[in-house]
Each structure stands twice: as structure tokens, then as C-alpha cells.
Amino acid sequence: MTMRIAVAVSGRGSNLEALLQALHADAPARVVLVLSNRADAGALARAASRSVPGEVLRDPVDPADWLERLERHGVDLIVLAGYLKLVPAGVIARYRGRIVNIHPALLPAFGGPGMYGRRVHEAVLASGAQESGATVHLVDEEYDRGAVLAQARVPVLPGDTPERLAARVLEAEHRLLPAVVLAAAAAGHPIPLPQPVESNS
Ligand code: GRF
């Protein structure tokens, strides 16, 4: 059985792209829907260029708007890949244990409301941490607090700027997210990855 995936996005969609590249025609998972709260998200153009249906939520805080689309496409798993708003509680209740998010730091550190994009990497650098990385976790009603499924670590290097660190973390994200999704497809639901996914960079 192929696991049918919806990817929710707000921005450029490089993680969506990594996932689409990793999921070959014979993979046990397929992206069947890209959902966005923004009509101008670059991720929607990436989806369109690969003939993956993209839809813009009419009202991102209305669970019915989500659920109608998810059900129409027979979605089994929701992947938040740069989706910047809170997912409505009614969607979380219906898909509990079947929604994952990727975050550009080693949760539980450097997560929570307002911790996204450049701010995450600024905070990591300001803290003096020696390493950062990416986390994929289950989504519950709070930002960045659900069970961790997998992490990939990268070093913080001397002279790092938020941009340099972000680029290093993003490379790790592009390996981590497909690994988690493929493991979920094999198991039938998201599972913790047994091994840390290490980065070469
Ligand atoms: C990534 O850093 C992800 O961890 C965070 O938002 C960013 C999305 O980047 N949640 P992209 O849109 O996938 O390029």
C-alpha cells in the first residue's frame, strides 16, 4: 500500500523538493497534495512543476477547510515542511500520530512560538552551542513539543553567521525528512528512527 502524503507549506519548499526527489515512482509513499496558507508560496510552484496538486487553504484556522481537502485526496500522513501557522486542533485530533513537522534545531532546545527561520539560528549562535541540527517530531497542539522521531546533528563552526548555519542545517533537513517519511511508509505510521542521521557537512 502506498502511503498518501499531504505536505503543508508556507514558503520556498526546499524540503518539499527533497521529498519529491526521494520518492521515486515505486516508493511506498507519494505526495498527493501540497497545502498552503499562502497563494504566493514558492513551494506551490515546485508542486505544479511536478504535477502534484497544490491547494491554498481558504481559512487556515478552520479544521473543516483542511479536512475536506485531506479526505478528498485520501491523505494518510501530513508533513509540515515550513508551515508557519498552528494546525487547527480539529485536524490534529483527526490525524493524531500522523502529522510530522521538521524544525531547524535540536528540539527541545530552540523551539516554541516565534522560533522559526533566522531567529532559530541567531538564538543557537547567541547561546554558544557547539552543535545544531534538524528535528522531525510528531505534531500536537503546541508548537514544537510533540515526540521527537529523528534528529540530524551538524557542527556550529567558528565564524558562523545565521545564514551559514541555516544552510548547513538545511542540507541535513533534506536528508532527514525523506528518511523519516520512508520509514513511516514502511511501518504504516510515523516511527522513531533507530539511528541518529548524521550529517557529513
Ligand atoms: C526549514 O528550515 C524547516 O525546518 C522550517 O522551515 C524551513 C522551511 O524551508 N520548519 P523550506 O520551505 O522547506 O525550504
pLDDT digits (tens, 9 = 90+) for 39-72: 999 999 999 999 999 999 999 999 999 999 999 9
Distance CA 12, CA 17 (A): 9
Distances (CA, A) of 198 to 117, 158, 179, 193: 22, 20, 12, 12
Ligand 1 site-directed mutation target among 102, 121, 143, 163, most atoms within 8 Å of CB: 102
173 secondary structure, DSSP code: H
Locate the ligand 1 atom nearest the alpha carbon of residue 134 and give its number. Answer: 4
What is the Å distance from ligand 1's center to 114 Cα? 14
For residues 56 and 33, is the Cβ–Cβ distance under 8 A?
Answer: no
Does the Cβ of 81 fall within 6 Å of ligand 1?
yes
In angstroms, the CA 190 to CA 201 distance is 26
- Each residue of 90-105: pLDDT tens digit? 999 999 999 999 999 9
Count CA atoms closer than 13 A to 41's CA, side-chain side: 27
pTM above 0.85, yes or no: yes
Has 103 been annotated as catalytic?
Answer: yes
Nearest to 156 by CA among 135, 125, 127: 125
Distance from the alpha carbon of residue 140 to the mean position of ligand 1, in angstroms: 18
Catalytic residue among 73, 103, 121, 137: 103
C-alpha cell at 39: 497563494
